[in-house]
Amino acid sequence: MMMGAIAGALLVGITAHEFGHALVAYRLGDMTAALQGRLSLNPRAHLDPAGTMMLLLVGFGWGKPVPVNLAVLRYGRRGMALVSVAGPLANLFIAGLFALPFQMGILTIPALWPPTSFDPSALPAYMATMGVVLNLVLAVFNLLPFAPLDGSNILLGIAPRRLLPAVIRLQVMGPGLLIFVILLDFTMGIGILWRAIGPVVNWGTVALLGWTI
């Protein structure tokens, strides 16, 4: 049950995230993603084969990056920052939608978290809870300033011109740093990433559900 709730919540979150990028790019004059069928809420338009396989196997995956042509995008690098922030904002919006049934009293927070046994009647509550938590995780994680995460392009778009060389160097180093931290967390169990994003995710969970993970 837990794996199904995680996979379903991530499927919705990844789709909304990539659609957000495509929509803002389209609004800013770049037709690239729209012409490739990415201006869609159909999950099949955004799923990456390897990311989908990981989603099915381990409950964590990723979507296909939305192509953006900076040459035709309005506002240049600031336009790219707007496109980049649209993904995390879409996840925050989806987290809010998943929280609505709890705020309206239609669902109640599962008494046992994480669940230790299968209870079909609790599946909607588990799915909605995971929808809130995982969309918050997607939003906050993608705001980290390391390429290829969205935070890298947001930082590039808002940084003063005098700081651009340093930001570009960080972009070049970003993928290696991110992989190193993920591998360190996975092998040593240090929890560096969660220490970085956990407090914000917990704050968002309390704000939306009145409950902390």
Name the catalytic one among 18, 81, 133, 147. 18
CA 97, 140, 151, 2 torsion-angle sign: negative
Is 211 one of the annotated active-site residues of the chain? no
CA of 67: how far to CAs of 23, 25, 136, 173, in Å? 12, 9, 24, 21
Among residues 36, 28, 29, the alpha carbon closest in space to that of 65 is found at 36
Residues 6+ apart with CB under 8 A from 138: 10, 13, 14, 17, 88, 91
Structure tokens at 139: 């939003």
Which ranges in 104-163 belong to alpha helices (H)?
A: 123-142, 150-158
- Reference 204, options 134, 119, 118; nearest CA is 134
Residues acting as catalytic residues:
18
